[in-house]
Each structure stands twice: as structure tokens, then as C-alpha cells.
Chain A
Amino acid sequence: MGRDALRILLYVALTLCSVVMLTPVVWLVAACLKEPDALFSYLFFPPARHLSLRNFRDLFTDIQFTRFLMNSCFVSGVTVMVQLFFASLGGFALAKYEFRGKRPIMILMLATMMIPGQVMLGPLYELIYHVGFMDSYLGLIVPGCVSVFGMFLFRQSMLQIPDDLLEAGRIDGCSEFRLYWNVALPVSRPMTGAFCLISFMGTWNSFLWPQIVLHTQERATLPIALTQMVGLYSQKYGVLMAGTLLSILPVVILFFILQKEFISGLTAGAVKG
């Protein structure tokens, strides 16, 4: 009896928490689907006759939403790819080779990981200005393409590759790069998935640095474009909410594809200590 009551209480608590967590998201979806006039007349979903896709239509016709979406996809896509390549290649070298300068490199990187990135905003701005990357995607992609965190993540997972396996590859005539490409990278596939998602979320949601680098309205990424709308479209909440929903969608889709790798990758470093 006591056990059953406890069990019911547990599910009640869990359900209540779920409702609290989901309410803002449900409200967001409802806000997108309401006719502009009905937005505040109904708290969540209105009767069917007040449902419409007008907000989405306005989003694509009044605002160049497609353009911003493509901008974000391009910047995030390229950044993630380059980050992944550099971090895994560097991580492989740090995990499976002994070479001069290895320890200093690792200590230097660990030390900089402790320093918040905002410290270097000013000088980085000056540097980007001088090399002419201002107001261009290069200014976002080039400084963003090295992830120290990612390199340590890959080093950690590639440490587990047996040396015998690599040696066998060498005897068969594999070049070192092919050992990386055909052995090390496939073996750390789960880590690759986790890192892709973490890094994609990082660049997709990045706001402060793009805000500093980009000036031309046309080049804005989604976070920049959307936050500008907050001021300009204060009367059109529905359109703003539709834009927010569509901006979240790519992350959600990627999450469902990589969910398993993500959760294990996120906690791998922490639980093993």
C-alpha cells in the first residue's frame, strides 16, 4: 500500500515537472499557429477557425528569413566541419604519438581552457579588423574553427585505440594519414557524433561574436536577425515566435539523429573522472 502510494506520488511529481518544462515550448508552438489577431485572446491553442500559417508566410515574404537561415547553416556547417577535422587530427597526434613539444602544447591548451573566452574579445576584434575579416563570414569561421575542448575530447577517446592495430596498419603499408582516416576516426565515431552536436549548438547559438563582427543586415545569422526583430517587430509577436521555432528546429533534428552519442559523449569525461 505504502509502496504504491509512493509510486503514484513519484509519477505525479514527474508529470508536474514535465508540464512546467514543456509549457513554454507548447505556448511557443501555439503562438506561431494563431492568427495575428487571436494571439492574445487565447492562452494556448485557439479554436480551429483562428488557426493559420500566416505567421510562417509573413516570415518568408516580409523578412528574408530564408537568407538568414542559409547564412546560419553555412557558417555553422563550415565551422563544425573544420573544427571536427582539426580537433580529431590534433587529438590523434596527441593520443598516439610521442613527439617533441607535445607536453608544452597540452599544458598551454589546458591553461587557456581555464580562461573565459571573453577576455580576448578586444584584441581579437582588432586582429580581425586588421586582417580584413570584418563583416565577413571568415571573421566568424576562422577564429571559431579551433576547439581546444574538442581536441581533448578526441585525444581521450583515441587513447583507447590499441597500438598493435596501428602497427599492423603500418606493416600493411598504410600512411599515417590513412591510419587516422581509416582507423582512428571510425573507431571514435560516437565521440564524433557527440562533438558534432555540441559544436553545432555552440556555433548555431553564438551571438556575442557575430554581433561584433557582422554589420550588413543581409549577412546576419539567425540569432542576430531574430534579436533585431525583437525591437522592430514588437507588434508582430506571432512572426517573431515563428522565426524562433524554425531557428530551434535544426538543432532539435540533429539532436534526435545523434541523441545516443550525445548523452554518452557529454557524460563520458565526467563520470570516468
Chain B
Amino acid sequence: MIRSGSFFRWQHRNAPYLFVTPFVLVFCVFGLYPLVKSLWLAFYITSGPKSRVFVGLGNFAFLLSDPDFHKAVWNTAVFAFFSVFLQLPLSLALALLLNRRRLWGRNFFRLVFFSPHLVGMVFVAVLFAVILQPQFGLLNKVLNWLFDTPLDTKWLGNRGLVMPALVLTALWMYVGFNMIYFLAALQAVNQDLYDAAKVDGANAWQQFRHVTLPSIKPVAVFVVVLSTIGSFQLFELPYLLLGNSGGPENAGLTIVMYLYQNGFETGDLGYASAIGWTLAIGVLVVSLVQMKFTGAWKRGD
């Protein structure tokens, strides 16, 4: 029984348009429009919603000579560096430990390592604001107990310790999250390859180097790019731990924090947009370089 009313034919013909319309409409108004507008605003100096002065590339030129911005870029880059070169190897190591055959309690350990991620960045920041507290905080107490010397290290008040504190907090939160990706990739590796490698007399390291690593490479590239992009957008953690000032001598000032300061405290949305687009271009370039460098290009994904 084929229905052939005119409504039935009409809705069949127009269904895809009707289905994408709500999404596309909201996306265009509240996503695309602000995006395009911000590109336009980046060429203006604004103060409040009413006054704006065209400055051409002036904002970008000013960024090049703005020491606070340089500091923010440097801090963000350092944080991203440790995310990729400290946190991800540890994530991979945890995944390798959990990937052993006949491991009792794998799901339990996986859940435990992953659990900090459930806390959420804002609440992690609130929790660690207390944990990093000099006199009563958990970290100093534990260090006291381990090394048997009273400590009152001001983790967030000392220029040299701000970045380590941020890196360690992020490590706690994300190491298990990234492990999930590595573990899934490891479990998808074809076991026959290991058997073949053993027949060829490969030792554990050679197996890892020539079987495991090439097999998990697509996922590894994905995780590297994802965590770089995430690090570039770091905001909540330093903002809440250090306050809006960015800590002693701006030691914890990040690019997005600087964007927020300029846009919503100084009120120059033009300069903020210029910072935003510089960040966007930076993110794009770095992820393209990473993908090219690791050869993810050729596979076409």
C-alpha cells in the first residue's frame, strides 16, 4: 500500500531541508555570524558596543610588540609542550600496563585513572585551589610527610612554581582521559602481527617499535592534535587558581585569559578578536604541522 497524497510527496521531497534547517539557522546566527564579525572587528579598536575606530592591521602590529601577549603565548606554548611530551607518554604507559593479557581488574583501574576527568575543569580548579594552599593544603602536607620537613611552598605565589602547578593539575585531570584512546587503539591491534614478530625473533622493545607504534599511530596523531588544541585554549584552570591577574609576574597568563582581559575588562572587543584570530591561526598551523610531520596526510583523514 503506497500512500501518494500530496502531503506525503511534499514531505518526502523536502525532508532533508526541513531536517537541517533548525540546526543551520541557529548555527548561522549564533555561530557563523559572530565568527565573520570577529574577523571584521579584528581591524578595529573598540571601547564598549558603540565606539569603534578602524585601525587596519594595527591590532596585529600591536600584538607583535605587546610584551604581555608574548608572555601569554610563551606560557601557553610551555603548557602545550608538557601536555604533549609529559602527559601523553604517561597516558600511553598507563594504557600499555592495562593492555596486558589476563589482567585482573582492568576495568577497575581504567575507571580509577579516568575518574578525575569526571570532576570537570572548574571544579578541579576549586578543589586544587585548596589542595595547593600553602599551610593546610594536601600537597604540602603529603610532601611534609614524605620528606619529613615542614614545607609551606606557595605553589601559586611563586613565579617559578605556577607553571609546574598548572601542569601537574592538568596531568591529574587528563592523563586517564587520554589513556582511554590509547587503550582502545592497543586493543584493536591485530594480535597476529605480534605472533609473526615473535616468530621472527623480535624482543619486547622491537615488537613495541615495529608493531605497536605503527598500529596505533592514527589514534596517537589524533590524541596529540586534540590535546594541543585543548592546551592552546587553556583558561579556567589558571583563571580560577591565580585570579584574573595571571599570577606573579603573569607567570600563569594564557592566550585566552589575555583575550578575556582585553575584551571583557578593558572592553576592547577589537583587540580581543585580533588575539582570537591569532590563536586560531596558531592552532591551525600547529595542527597541520603535526599532521604533516607524522604523515597522517597520506591516509587522507
Contact = CB atoms under 8 A, between A and B. Distances in A.
Interface in A218-259: 223, 226-227, 230, 237, 240-241, 244, 247-248, 251-252, 255
A219 to B, nearest CB: 17
Interface string B213-248: 000001100110000010011011000100000000
A271 B121 contact: no
Contact of A223 (B112, B123, B273, B301): B123
Contacts of A119: 35, 38, 273, 276-277, 279-280
A171 interface: yes
B109 A14 contact: yes
A70 interface: no
A255 B110 CA distance: 14
Interface in A130-179: 130, 142-143, 145-146, 148, 151, 170-173, 175-177
Contact of A10 (B22, B97, B181): B97
Query: Which of the four size classes fits the interface of chain A?
Result: 35 or more
A96 B264 CA distance: 43
B185 interface: yes
B219 A122 contact: no
Given A99-B16, A175-B11, A271 B38 contact: no
Given A43-B138, A127-B30, A207-B121, A267 B23 contact: no
A230 B41 contact: no
Contact of A127 (B34, B223, B280): B34
Interface string B105-136: 10001001101101111110111111100011
A109 B115 contact: no
Given A177-B11, A241-B130, A120 B35 contact: yes
A121 B276 contact: yes
A59 interface: no
Contact of B120 (A14, A98, A112, A201): A201
Contacts, number: 254
Contact of A148 (B27, B119, B141): B27
B216 to A, nearest CB: 9
Interface centre among B31, B218, B284, B301 (most CB of A within 10 A): B31
B72 to A, nearest CB: 13
Given A14-B97, A92-B19, A208-B235, A120 B301 contact: no
B118 A123 contact: no
B193 to A, nearest CB: 16
Contact of A271 (B20, B31, B118, B188): B188
A240 B30 contact: no
B138 A175 contact: no
Contacts of B141: 43
Given A119-B280, A208-B260, A212-B264, A90 B20 contact: yes
A247 B30 contact: no
Contact of B122 (A25, A114, A205, A240): A205
A59 to B, nearest CB: 14
Nearest to B5: A173
B33 to A, nearest CB: 7
15 contacts: A23-B142, A24-B131, A115-B283, A118-B259, A119-B276, A121-B38, A121-B264, A125-B263, A130-B49, A146-B30, A172-B1, A207-B236, A237-B130, A248-B120, A273-B301
Interface of A: 10, 13-14, 17-18, 20-25, 27-28, 31, 39-40, 43, 86-87, 89-90, 92-94, 97-99, 102, 105, 108-109, 112, 114-127, 129-130, 142-143, 145-146, 148, 151, 170-173, 175-177, 180, 201, 204-205, 207-208, 212, 223, 226-227, 230, 237, 240-241, 244, 247-248, 251-252, 255, 263, 266-267, 270-271, 273
User: 7 smallest A-B Cβ distances: which pairs?
Assistant: A122-B269, A176-B15, A205-B120, A119-B276, A93-B19, A97-B16, A120-B34
